[in-house]
Chain A
Amino acid sequence: AAGVIQSPRHLIKEKRETATLKCYPIPRHDTVYWYQQGPGQDPQFLISFYEKMQSDKGSIPDRFSAQQFSDYHSELNMSSLELGDSALYFCASSGRTAYNSSYEQYFGPGTRLTVT
């Protein structure tokens, strides 16, 4: 079965540079979520989109922005990178089930960002 695709899988950037992470959700999923997981930390919710509109916002720094496009893929743009931004960035997608309104999220493999 198709899974969530994230690219690139690994990215190395220097301080103050910018980075763009991409996420391609499972087909027919309409919601995308972004999470950040630092070394030894638990995943932290950043932001989510439903039908191309921002649906919820977590601890996303002002230096970061994201959007969901018409084909439902999403991009996380990160500017003025700091050493503390080094982390695994996960994208997850979900779609409404037939029986209830809860959402089972399917996570991608993640992008490992290293800022030097």
Chain B
Amino acid sequence: LAKTTQPISMDSYEGQEVNITCSHNNIATNDYITWYQQFPSQGPRFIIQGYKTKVTNEVASLFIPADRKSSTLSLPRVSLSDTAVYYCLVGYSTLTFGKGTMLLVSP
């Protein structure tokens, strides 16, 4: 299974755009890149998933370069409620959670 590396923590302010980059140098051909959000004592929540190029939904964008060895989750105009841990995962079905990124959004 591909291993991921992402920053341990990030700080931002309300209204700013936040970009969290994840490295996954050993990603396999059939692996997808998926990002989850987790609040304390709650189950992880799916944010976005992609295979290559750019994917956008109503809450985030995911940028994946051609070599697929990294990906960037972009959260536009964050709010206080976006304070959470964000996990980058690669795989086909089984999810292996690594160390997520603790995003703290301040007023």
Contact = CB atoms under 8 A, between A and B. Distances in A.
Nearest to B30: A101
Nearest to A103: B93
A47 to B, nearest CB: 10
Contact of A45 (B38, B43, B97): B97
Interface stretch (B15-23, B44-52, B59-67, B74-82): B44-52
A42 B99 contact: yes
B7 interface: no
Given A42-B99, A42-B100, A33 B43 contact: no
Contact of A58 (B43, B46, B94): B94
| Contact size range, B | 20 to 34
Contacts of B44: 43, 90, 92, 105, 107
B34 interface: yes
Contact of B43 (A56, A94, A103, A109): A109
Which of A92, A100, A107, A110 gathers most chain B CB within 10 Å? A107
Interface string B77-101: 0000000000100001111111110
Given A42-B99, A88-B41, A107-B43, A31 B93 contact: yes
A44 B97 contact: yes
B42 interface: yes
5 contacts: A44-B97, A45-B95, A56-B93, A56-B94, A104-B34
Closest 4 CB pairs of A and B: A107-B43, A102-B32, A42-B97, A43-B97
Interface of A: 4, 31, 33, 35, 42-45, 48, 55-56, 58, 88, 90, 92, 94, 100-110, 112
